[in-house]
Structure 1
Amino acid sequence: MPRRTATLLASTLLLIALLCAGVLIKVPYAEMSPGPTVNTLGKHDGEPVLNIKDEPGKKNEPKQYGTSGHLNMTTVRVTGSEYRMNLVEALSGWLRGERAIVPHATLYPDDKSAEEVDQENAEEFTASQESAKVAALKELHKPVGSHVIVGAVTKGKPAQGKLRPGDVITAVDGKPVGRPESVGQVVTQRKPGEDVTFTVVPVKKAKAAQKKGKEPTELDGRKVTVRTTEDEQDGRAVVGIQPALGHTFPFEIDIKLADVGGPSAGLMFALGIVDKLTPQKLTGGQFVAGTGTIDDDGKVGEIGGIQMKTVAAREKGARYFLTPAGNCPSAAKNKPDGLTLVKTSTMHEAMTSLKKIREGHPEQLTECKPAKG
């Protein structure tokens, strides 16, 4: 056999062997890619994403207006917790700019089960919906009530089975609580092993009152005694709950979007709510997408997977993308052609940018710029 033929054959066999090894070798990485993008002003799976309503027959039914254009929230698709990527897939993903290969533990920490990760994502999504409602109504100068709730109950701690997420806490050891941090301040005055008494309005009863636009009060509550235990880190008395701030709205705002987790849709939900409750069509018929967490005061926070989200938005037809200020340098580094990245730090800033878009002044927008150097 000629030397050149033998060399070519050996090289081909080596390449085949390497490819086979690459398919068989599993690597500790996961893939993030562009996910679905949904118009918060429209429907998803036949149901309105935003459904604003009041109790039948009430005189203060919120007036709603027609909308136009798009205010799309964006998502990132990730490989499942049980999926183990092979070396060829990882190398392919690294070479494709619209995808990201990240350590598996980034998405699924070793100290948490897949169920725990899913639960955290669901809780973050629920919390983002609440903050979106608050931020939107504050932007519209509508009243929002607040109260302390059980945000989460730690598995295996004394509060499990006695307190439930969503229960409204009106007092601890007879002392009224107005802020989430007040709960811990009272509990830690006890010694580990001592009882602490919570006055709570059960979650079902609290929701029934809130649907009527009423604040749950101590008169609706019941007393629940929980024995404290010692915190593993600092030895303080704890019961195993995470207090949070809940709200009562002047009317019901229902956000329906299945199979989505995390807090990154907050900004777009808030803008969608405002659009439905104001006569001015926010986008002026333009296709606007975006992302970003939002807090009760309308501050927009950065998110993960920004490059996948801009790709998804542009592929769907978006011309403008509301981008959290903290994500701007990364987003601008690989900006899809034809997409204007609008720097956004607050709800009010987003409203101002939308005004410039609908009035035909895109040159006045504050665009994202790549990091210097």
Structure 2
Amino acid sequence: MKILQVFSSNLKALRQWIKQFKWWLIGALAAFLLLFSLFVPLPYYLEMPGGAYDIRSVLTVDDRKDDQEGSYNFVAVSMSQATLAQLIYGWLTPFTEITSMQETTGGYSNDDYIRMNQFYMETSQNNAVYQALSLAGEEVSLDYMGVYVLNVNENSSFKGILQLADTVTGVNSRTFSSSADLIDYVSGLELGEPVTVQYTSDGKAKEAEGKIIRLENGKNGIGIGLVDHTEVNSDKDIVFSTDGVGGPSAGLMFTLDIYDQLTEEDLRQGRVIAGTGTIEKDGSVGDIGGAALKVVAADKAGAEIFFVPNNPVDEAVLKADPAAKTNYEEAAAAAKELGSKMKIVPVTNVQEAIDYLRKQD
């Protein structure tokens, strides 16, 4: 009888211990999941509306103070590697986009991705300065130094040879006046044909041999991602201070601000003007990502006008996604959803933006 009583007492104690342990385990798991969801980054990025920034805060022309009313604003998208909690927030929040790490960075580290965007920003600034000075009738030249290497395809014969930030200066000892000329030349070479690339790395001139490969777009090439490496020569002292900001999408707005300061035309007329779009040497405005998110940021900043690229959707993109929209269509739809009174103005080149502002004076 005593044995049964002892066994029963021990069993009761065991059950009580298991019950306590169970709740302790559940609490520990809950705490772990909470900490995991809040602090452990996943291989996804969260893109949200950033801010609209007065260009005068990052740019000066001839060290003069621009104190005219109104402002030109470039618009940013806030991007961060997401935790589980942020992903859930993103799924539930309008005007928030979730992208995979591969889609966002191309598989590169965050540091390399930031560096690549700084090269895009440098090229954008140089094109903006050149275009603004040219439109204002000032003496200026845009010297082509080669192309920055941004990435190298896995199947490229230059993989492991060309590195991020190397500058390709020639192909088969030929020099070029733009990256477009370089691309046209190599695309005309035969598949598998031997090719020699001249480049600089860490300030040293080098040369490497490889072959022409078939690219994902069906064209022939050497298999590198690139952006123009240029230098502006002018008597005008135009200084940017854009540390921490990358990418080419502020090109159009940089151009408008510089042009307005050079001509003292005051196209702003006291208005808060925002916009987005790359700028090319010929003044054409190129497409950007996150048009809808940038509309939200500009609207929050009280912008009255928002310039946005209006180029046809690429046929390859339309084939993959028949519902794909132009940047203008994305922006207009976002403004409508917001109920914004901001004027969404489509442009394909900088002159169209200048003409619009003149007509609205």
Aligned length: 293
Contact conserved, 1:172 with 1:197, CA < 8 A, in 2? yes
| Residues 287-326 of structure 1 mapped to structure 2, 5 A cutoff | 287-325=272-310, 326=326
Using the TM superposition, give the Cα deviation of residue 69 of structure 1 relative to its aligned residue in structure 2, in angstroms: 0.7
Q: Match for residue 266 of structure 2?
A: 281
After TM superposition, the score normalised by the length of structure 1 is 0.64
Q: Match for residue 83 of structure 2?
A: 85
Using the TM superposition, give the Cα deviation of residue 141 of structure 1 relative to its aligned residue in structure 2, in angstroms: 2.7
- Corresponding position: 1:34 with 2:49: yes
| Residues 55-204 of structure 1 mapped to structure 2, 5 A cutoff | 67-80=68-81, 84-86=82-84, 89-110=86-107, 112-153=108-149, 165=167, 178=177
Q: Match for residue 58 of structure 1?
A: none
Matches of 1:78 and 1:230 in 2, distance apart? 37
Matches of 1:297 and 1:33 in 2, distance apart? 31
1:317–1:192 distance in 2 versus 1, CA, 3 Å: same
Q: Pick from 328, 353, 356 the counterpart of residue 356 of structure 2.
A: 353
Runs of 5+ consecutive residues of structure 2 not aligned to the other structure:
1-28, 153-158, 215-219, 311-325
Q: Residue 298 of structure 2 aligns to a residue in which SS?
A: helix
Matches of 1:328 and 1:160 in 2, distance apart? 36
Matches of 1:90 and 1:170 in 2, distance apart? 45
Q: Match for residue 333 of structure 1?
A: 333
1:77–1:229 distance in 2 versus 1, CA, 3 Å: same
What whole-Å deviation, never above 9, does each CA across 1:10-39 have from its counterpart, x for those lacking one?
Answer: xxxxxxx99x97986786532111112211
Q: Sequence identity of aligned pairs in percent?
A: 25
Aligned letter for 1:74?
V
Matches of 1:270 and 1:284 in 2, distance apart? 17
Q: Match for residue 231 of structure 1?
A: 211
Using the TM superposition, give the Cα deviation of residue 145 of structure 1 relative to its aligned residue in structure 2, in angstroms: 2.1
Question: Higher helix fraction: Structure 1 or Structure 2?
Answer: 2
Contact conserved, 1:177 with 1:183, CA < 8 A, in 2? yes
Matches of 2:330 and 2:226 in 1, distance apart? 33
Contact conserved, 2:198 with 2:208, CA < 8 A, in 1? no
Using the TM superposition, give the Cα deviation of residue 131 of structure 1 relative to its aligned residue in structure 2, in angstroms: 1.0
Aligned letter for 2:59?
L
After TM superposition, the score normalised by the length of structure 2 is 0.66
Aligned letter for 2:86?
E
Runs of 5+ consecutive residues of structure 1 not aligned to the other structure:
1-16, 44-48, 55-62, 204-223, 360-373
Using the TM superposition, give the Cα deviation of residue 259 of structure 1 relative to its aligned residue in structure 2, in angstroms: 1.0
Contact conserved, 1:321 with 1:341, CA < 8 A, in 2? yes
RMSD: 4.1
Matches of 1:317 and 1:193 in 2, distance apart? 53
What whole-Å deviation, never above 9, does each CA across 1:79-118 have from its counterpart, x for those lacking one?
Answer: 13xxx431x53343233223222333321323x2222211
Matches of 1:105 and 1:157 in 2, distance apart? 20
Using the TM superposition, give the Cα deviation of residue 262 of structure 1 relative to its aligned residue in structure 2, in angstroms: 0.7
| Residues 3-42 of structure 1 mapped to structure 2, 5 A cutoff | 28-40=43-55, 42=56
What whole-Å deviation, never above 9, does each CA across 1:140-163 have from its counterpart, x for those lacking one?
Answer: 2333324331332578766779x9
Matches of 2:94 and 2:241 in 1, distance apart? 32
Matches of 2:269 and 2:148 in 1, distance apart? 41
1:143–1:64 distance in 2 versus 1, CA, 3 Å: farther
Matches of 1:243 and 1:331 in 2, distance apart? 26
Q: Match for residue 211 of structure 1?
A: none
What whole-Å deviation, never above 9, does each CA across 1:111-134 have from its counterpart, x for those lacking one?
Answer: x22222112111111111111112
What whole-Å deviation, never above 9, does each CA across 1:222-271 have from its counterpart, x for those lacking one?
Answer: xx76343213737x998989684634234232221121111100001000
1:52–1:237 distance in 2 versus 1, CA, 3 Å: same
